[in-house]
Amino acid sequence: MKKLLIPLIAAFAANTVSAAAPQQVIDISTDKVSMVLTAAPGGEVYFRHFGGRIDDPAPLADYKSNRRSDHGTEDLAYPATGGRNFREPALRVTHADGDMNTELRYVSHASKQLSDKNVTETVVKMTDCCQALDVELVFTAYARENVITTHAVIRNREKGPVTLHSFYSSSLPLKADKYLLTHLYGAWAREAQVDHTLLTHGSKSIESTREVRTTHTENPAFLLTLNSDSFSETYGEVIAGALAWSGNFRLNFEVDEFDVLTVLAGANPNASEYRLRPGETFTTPEMIYTHSFCGAGGASRNLHDWARNYGVYHGHEAVPTLLNSWEGAYFKFDAKVLKQMIDDAASMGLEMFVLDDGWFGNKYPRNNSNAGLGDWQVNAAKLPEGIDHIASYAHSKGLKFGIWIEPEMVNPKSELAEKHPDWIVRPPKREAPTTRNQWLLDLTNPKVQDFVFGVFDNTMKLSDKIDYIKWDANRNANNVGSAYLPADEQSRFWIDYAQGFYKVMERIRAKYPDVLIQACASGGGRVEYGALKYFDEVWMSDNTEALSRARIQYGTSLFYPAVVMGSHVSATPNHQTGNITPIKFRFDMACAGRLGMELQPRQMTDEERQFARRAIASYKEYRDIVMQGDLYRIGTPYDKSGCYGLMYVSKDRKQAVLFTYSLRYQGRSLIPKFRLQGLDPKTGYTIRELNVDKSRNWFDGKTFSGEMLSNAGINPSMPKIYDSGVFLLTAE
């Protein structure tokens, strides 16, 4: 009985101190955004504010919610299962003694400016009132970008192991009259479609349980428009969030009886119980937040700035324009075919050639998707002179050289599968299902991590002229089982796989800091900031058709900057959709991201090749504006008008490039108007239409004030479907 009373007395004492001690204010701020917590020693840590900056948040120490305690807890900074919390918990634990309750109490907090003077880190320390379990909330504020990231560190000081059932990265309570949720959904070849949902009472979750290709159907990012049921690019209060995690994720949105919306974001707890041994810590993925009073556009620009400065590897270096061999040659090529493609790429002014799938395997040659994956020897029949011969030829023509790998997967018909069946993800006594005729390698296993690193390392050793790696991943994880993990810890697979992937990437970046790497996963399966910490760009979709790309690129741009968006001009009829689109429309769409081509140039007409040279040359003229400028979306590709525009404005507002698209027939009566944002109202801008012999627009070559272009706008002529324009604006 005495032992039972001790934790009860401790808990009572903690609550007594909390009630008596004054609340301390924990201020986490950027130039325009504040996140405010309050706490008293031994008391709970409350979440008080996230939104516009508060220069003096001290009065929030006296904040009273006027809630009755029997209706549940206040808005906690990191709610756990236990105490008076009735909402979905950020943390759910079974302690070493079987106790299923956790009540976190404030210990201390500290803030420090990092070596980068733009960045401040705040750590809030808490501990359970009855068990030796600690939680640290780590907030990192990026002043200029107006972004705050957060994660949790969970430490077990108990005498036995504890089981983590839920371990979200953050909990964000918000209070507004309305909550309009904007998020992405889709499928292969139809990624990044946009959905708007007005949240009602109860819970809505956006999640993935697929591992590896986690973002085809959902994306771990969202926008919340507050106090409105209308989405706007330019007006209103908007919060954006994005999770940096390459495994299963969950974003949970719960509106309670107080009309408070609580957002939980983090690794998906589904089937992912994690045993934490005594003395061990668990660090959750990073959750990224920003806030804007300038609509969705303002939130996007904050995220883009943060991504280029902190979230993307080589965020200020654009991947060169390129020709990729895949849709032009598929598996059927030899050195002669590749050299011809390199010649054509150079003649059109492209800057890199990428050799895609099919270059490897000898016992099981990689002549289709059925065999050879995992056997990373150069195919002697196709390329008897090796990769260096092709890479050197590309360099001799003034091009960089890239090559494709898929190191996490293996064909059943391969030497690797024969030698290492224990490396395959599969449960005992059950079949390992194939996807695209392949199995998944078990990255929870350090030996597999060594192998995957070795694939990259040995590929780079094939030539000192390899500048770029296209890293593909063409399947999900299912029917999961690991021969490496203990039988009673199989649920660690979902976490340990993603962490194993990161361990490999850390080793790669330590040895190859300068190589360019693309994250491809059957197209847009790895479009998230966990991967982008190591990758230079993503392949948004295997669907290269320009009309489809309008929506794919629009949705992606809500959260991710153009510098990471690989976008290619492909053949017509398109290989995915069969659609036939004009060469100009294809280029004008691809030029809104990182421009590339994915076709056989020998099948282009002379007129198309001539236009390609012209469009590539003009793209280089304004590329820096697209890659590093501020994005202003004008309408959406979902609008009933069928017209859509976007504009990138240089940071000094001296140049801008405007893209306009007609996605449906306009006829003689529907004339679009585009009001241009982001310009200096008192500066004059000369407009020049690119890639046309003679513009049909009355404003071409004329100079207008930024004020006029913003308030009155311009009306480019786009009466037919696939009409498009690219306009360069230069300050006078």
- The residue type found at 273 is E
Contact 595, 619 (CB under 8 A): yes
Residues listed for the chain: 732
630 a catalytic residue: no
* Alpha helices in 152-292, H assignment, sequence order: none
Of 256, 542, 588, 630, catalytic:
542
What b/e sequence results for 467-490 when a residue is b if at least 16 CB atoms lie within 10 Å of its CB, and e otherwise? Answer: bbbbbbbbbbbeebbbbbbeeeeb
Which residues are within 8 A (CB) of 154 and not within 5 positions of it... i.e. 6 or more apart? 91, 133, 134, 135, 164, 167, 276, 281, 282, 283, 284
Which residues are within 8 A (CB) of 557 and not within 5 positions of it... i.e. 6 or more apart? 300, 565, 631, 633, 646
Contact 729, 656 (CB under 8 A): yes
Of 357, 472, 588, 630, catalytic:
472
Q: Which two tokens stand for residue 89?
A: 């918990």
Cα separation, 412 vs 371, whole angstroms:
7
Q: Which helix (H) or strand (E) segment is 173 a member of?
A: strand 170-175
Tell which residue, 562, 543, 556, 546, has the closest CA to residue 657. Answer: 562
Long-range contacts of residues 686-690, Cβ cutoff 8 Å, at least 24 apart: 686/729, 686/730, 686/732, 687/714, 687/727, 687/728, 687/729, 688/727, 688/728, 688/729, 688/730, 689/725, 689/726, 689/727, 690/615, 690/618, 690/621, 690/622, 690/726, 690/727, 690/728
Tell which residue, 555, 556, 580, has the closest CA to residue 570. Answer: 580
Q: Which helix (H) or strand (E) segment is 204 a member of?
A: strand 202-208
56 a catalytic residue: no
DSSP 575-594: TTT-----HHHHHHHHTTSE
Number of Cβ within 10 Å of residue 271's Cβ equals 12
Residues carrying an active site annotation: 472, 542
